[in-house]
Amino acid sequence: MSKTAIVVLSEPKAGSEEALGRVFNALAAAYDFKNAGEDVKILFQGAGTRWPAELQKADHPANNLYKAIEDKIEGISCACADVFGAEPAGLDLIKNNPVPGTSGLPSFVNLQKDGFNVITF
Residues spanned by the domain of 38? 3-120
Go through the chain and tell me how many residues it has. Answer: 121
- Amino acid at position 117, single letter: N
What is the residue-level pLDDT of the chain in tens, covering all 121 positions? 899 999 999 999 877 899 999 999 999 999 999 999 999 999 999 999 999 999 999 999 999 999 999 999 999 999 999 999 998 999 999 999 999 999 999 999 999 999 999 999 9
Question: Is pTM beyond 0.75 here?
Answer: yes
Number of domains, the chain: 1
CATH of the domain at 62: 3.40.1260
Q: DSSP secondary structure string, 72-85? A: GEEEEEHHHHHHHT
CA distance 118 to 2: 11
From residue 100, how far is each of 7, 79, 93, 95, 104 by CA, in Å?
A: 22, 11, 17, 12, 8
